Chains A and B, each alone.
Chain A
Amino acid sequence: MVTTEHLIICEHCDCVYEKVVLAKHQKTLCVRCGGVLQRFNGLTIEQRLALTFTAAMLWLFANFYPVMSISLKGMKNSATLWDSVLALSQGPITFIAMVAAIAIIIAPAFQLVLLIWVLSFALGLRRAPGFNLCMRWLETLRPWSMLEVCLLGAMVAVFKLAGLLDVLPGIGLFALAVLSLMMIRIAGRDIRELWDIL
């Protein structure tokens, strides 16, 4: 069999290129369709693992502390991410609660667990048990993890309620804000580089 590991195929138009080594801030584009082929990856395995642990802590904060609390005529109430999933689950619309739970709680949690598993072994330059499966799940989960949408949603909710009653952003909201930005950095497409390193 011919070795093809030095080749890269544009996923948008099928053109074949040779991989190049990139410097900081560089990326390569397909000359035919303009799609991005490679992006510079500035994270070492150690850095990515450290960020993943940080993100896991933030996930705990985002899920166990209220995203925001409100008060109306002396009565107080607060809601976590799980509360908002439950709020959707009543009545005939349970399906959408499931979608929301996957998008804002389950998918990010699985991404973090899989990353910690894969990266911990990668530290010793070894492939983790079930490496193939883990990496494929990381690819599958990516489009369904919607934390940044959730963050914008929480901010819109603050404005929506601010006209009716007093709204106070909670620890969960700040954790969510940082977590959603970190997920973009650590769970992006560049984790595919592990296939080449290990």
Chain B
Amino acid sequence: MKRPPTASELNLCLCHSCGLACDMTDEPHECPRCDAPLHRRKTNSLTRTWAYMLAALAFYVPANLLPVMNTVMLGNGADSTIMSGVLEFWEAGAWDIALIIFIASIAVPGVKFVALTLLLVTVQRNSDWARKERSKLYRFVELIGYWSMLDVLVVALVAALVKFQALGDIEPRPGILFFGLVVVFTMLAAMSFDPRLIWDKDTSDTISHAASPTTPATDDAAPEPTGA
């Protein structure tokens, strides 16, 4: 497969803030157009991603075990965790809402942990396995990133509304704090990962026209991924 030249081969560097292709012959530290700091690769990408992800993983345990809210209805109080909230909807027959909460709160963080670990390990082993699919996986992780905030916002709204003292009262519980931290840290982890590392040790492809940038594929003219 032929590919265009890379930025490092042309001694260029992408500015992550304004998207300018910066000329690196004078080794500038800042983008000449927008003054944002320039890095050929995100600094300490792998270490930082691991750190943020492990922190998120540590918070994921209390986030799921501790109650996220406390409901008092007509004198009877009960703590509920995220999973018990899902089950409540499920048993009441609202399987669609149960599914939304389950996907946003439990599946999305889980998928992010698995996907980021996979990306980190394959990059560290210089694997040349399914590069294109791994790129796609990273974009997917970025896309689903913040949807896990759903439960935090649901609890906030519900707790703000139901304030009828003894008749009915809903209060947030510490589980929601850990849950929010999981979301924030998984987002930071995804942001610190540099997807270009997936391609850095790529030697299989040949350069199409030596050192001259080509026009990209338009629309669905780009070749479909051929599988693993």
Q: Assess the A16–B191 pair: CB atoms within 8 A.
A: no
Contact partners of A161 in chain B: CB under 8 A: 158, 161-162
Q: Which of A53-61, A92-100, A116-124 contacts B (4 or more CB under 8 A)?
A: A92-100
Known contacts A27-B218, A38-B216, A192-B18, then 4 further A-B pairs from the complex at CB < 8 Å, ordered by chain A residue: A28-B216, A86-B160, A97-B156, A146-B149
Contact partners of B198 in chain A: CB under 8 A: 13, 33
Q: Assess the B19–A8 pair: CB atoms within 8 A.
A: yes
Among the listed A11, A28, A31, A157, which residue makes an inter-chain contact with B16, where contact means beta carbons less than 8 Å apart?
A11
A34 to B8, CA, bound (A): 19
For residue B35, CB closer than 8 A to chain A, the reply is yes
> How far, in Å, is B65 (CB) from chain A's closest CB?
16
Provide the B154-179 mask, 1 if CB < 8 A to any CB of A, else 0.
Answer: 11111111111001100110101101
Overall SS of chain B's interface? mixed
> How far, in Å, is B61 (CB) from chain A's closest CB?
17
Contact partners of B184 in chain A: CB under 8 A: 99
Tell me the nearest residue of chain A to B3, going by C-beta: A32
Interface size class of A (residues with CB under 8 A): 35 or more
Which 7 residue pairs spanning A and B have beta carbons closest together? A153-B153, A79-B160, A84-B156, A87-B160, A29-B222, A93-B177, A96-B180
Tell me the nearest residue of chain A to B179, going by C-beta: A96
Q: Assess the B34–A195 pair: CB atoms within 8 A.
A: yes
Q: Assess the A93–B136 pair: CB atoms within 8 A.
A: no
Among the listed B153, B177, B196, B205, which residue makes an inter-chain contact with A14, where contact means beta carbons less than 8 Å apart?
B196
Residues in B177-228 with C-beta less than 8 Å from chain A: 177, 179-181, 184, 187, 191, 195-196, 198-200, 205, 213-219, 221-223, 225
What's the count of A-B pairs with C-beta under 8 Å? 266
Q: Assess the B159–A84 pair: CB atoms within 8 A.
A: yes
Overall SS of chain A's interface? mixed
Q: Assess the B167–A73 pair: CB atoms within 8 A.
A: yes
Q: Assess the B101–A156 pair: CB atoms within 8 A.
A: yes
Contact partners of B179 in chain A: CB under 8 A: 96
Q: Assess the B160–A139 pair: CB atoms within 8 A.
A: no
Residues in A1-32 with C-beta less than 8 Å from chain B: 1-2, 4-5, 7-9, 11-18, 20, 22, 25-32
A99 to B25, CA, bound (A): 41
User: Given contacts A93-B172, A132-B35, A136-B17, are A32 and B23 in contact (CB under 8 A)?
Assistant: no
> How far, in Å, is A21 (CB) from chain B's closest CB?
10
Among the listed A68, A136, A150, which residue makes an inter-chain contact with B161, where contact means beta carbons less than 8 Å apart?
A68
> How far, in Å, is B25 (CB) from chain A's closest CB?
8
Q: Assess the B168–A72 pair: CB atoms within 8 A.
A: yes
For residue B146, CB closer than 8 A to chain A, the reply is yes
Residues in B8-33 with C-beta less than 8 Å from chain A: 8, 10, 12-14, 16-23, 25-26, 32-33
Contact partners of B32 in chain A: CB under 8 A: 1
> How far, in Å, is A151 (CB) from chain B's closest CB?
9
Of B8, B179, B213, the most chain A CB neighbours within 10 A belong to B213
For residue A163, CB closer than 8 A to chain B, the reply is yes
Contact partners of B18 in chain A: CB under 8 A: 135-136, 139, 192, 195
Tell me the nearest residue of chain B to A165, going by C-beta: B168
Contact partners of A16 in chain B: CB under 8 A: 4-7, 10, 12, 21, 213
For residue A70, CB closer than 8 A to chain B, the reply is yes
A156 to B17, CA, bound (A): 35
For residue A149, CB closer than 8 A to chain B, the reply is yes
A136 to B7, CA, bound (A): 22
Q: Assess the A32–B4 pair: CB atoms within 8 A.
A: yes
A144 to B184, CA, bound (A): 9
For residue B78, CB closer than 8 A to chain A, the reply is no
Tell me the nearest residue of chain A to B33, going by C-beta: A195
For residue B135, CB closer than 8 A to chain A, the reply is yes
Q: List 6 A-B contacts (CB under 8 A).
A: A7-B213, A9-B12, A17-B4, A29-B218, A93-B177, A136-B18
Q: Assess the A88–B172 pair: CB atoms within 8 A.
A: yes
